Amino acid sequence: HGTEHCLVGMKGNPRMLNRGLDCDVIVAEVRATSHKPDEMYGIIERLSPGTRKIELFARPHNVQPNWITLGNQLDGVHLLDPDIAQAYQKHHPDASAPNAK
């Protein structure tokens, strides 16, 4: 058995959070290293709907639709949001175009 903590931060007005929608404890089977319970992503989506979300230190199994996912074990750059892809190209003109998935 083990315990892992999830820290959720928000820039801006925290009054926009949907408080009290979910419990604050998840009991789940232990999975592969850094493989979070699937329920975690739903809780975070419900906590702050319609906002950008970022996962740091991600691995390929942590990639979620509509999230910014960063990690040194990910293969290449995959940008789905056209605005983010355009900003990336603007700031990194010599880089190859990000892959769309």
| Domain residue extents for the chain | 14-91
- pLDDT tens readout for residues 18-60: 667 677 788 888 887 778 888 888 888 888 888 888 888 888 8
For 27, the token pair is 């009991």
Cα gap 61→66, rounded to integer Å: 15
Query: How far are the Cα atoms of 11, 51, 99 from residue 40, in angstroms, in the given order?
Result: 20, 16, 27
For 30, the token pair is 């232990």
pLDDT at 100: 54
- pLDDT tens readout for residues 53-84: 888 888 888 888 888 888 888 887 777 778 88
What 3-state class would DSSP assign to 78?
strand
Question: Residue 7 pLDDT more than 60?
Answer: yes
Question: Residue 98 pLDDT more than 70?
Answer: no
